[in-house]
């Protein structure tokens, strides 16, 4: 996870020629999405004690075809 968060800013700067500030701002939606899914799922896991369904659902969601 940390490697992935570190790689896209470098890619954006080298390939697309954006500044460091722009590459950081382009990652804001990804970070917001990570927080928006991590907090509720963590609360549900701690409340119910069940955790196995979340990685399975996450892997299935990632595997869905994009339109």
Q: Can you give the residue range of the structural domain that contains 34? A: 2-63
What domain count does the chain have? 1
Could you read off the pLDDT tens digit of each residue along the chain, which spans 67 residues? 677 778 988 999 999 999 999 999 998 998 898 899 899 999 999 999 999 998 899 899 888 887 7
Q: How far apart are CA 49 and CA 2, in angstroms?
A: 26
Cβ atoms of residues 54 and 45 within 8 Å? yes
Is the overall model pTM greater than 0.85, yes or no?
Answer: no
Per-residue b or e along 9-33, where b marks 16 or more CB atoms closer than 10 Å to that residue's CB: beebeeeeeeeeeebeeeeeeeeee
């Amino acid at each position: 996870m940390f490697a992935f968060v570190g790689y896209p800013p470098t890619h954006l700067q080298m390939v697309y020629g954006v500044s460091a500030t722009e590459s950081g701002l382009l990652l804001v939606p990804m970070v917001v999405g990570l927080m928006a899914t991590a907090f509720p799922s963590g609360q549900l896991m701690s409340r119910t004690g069940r955790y196995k369904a979340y990685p399975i659902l996450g892997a299935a969601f990632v595997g869905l075809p994009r339109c």
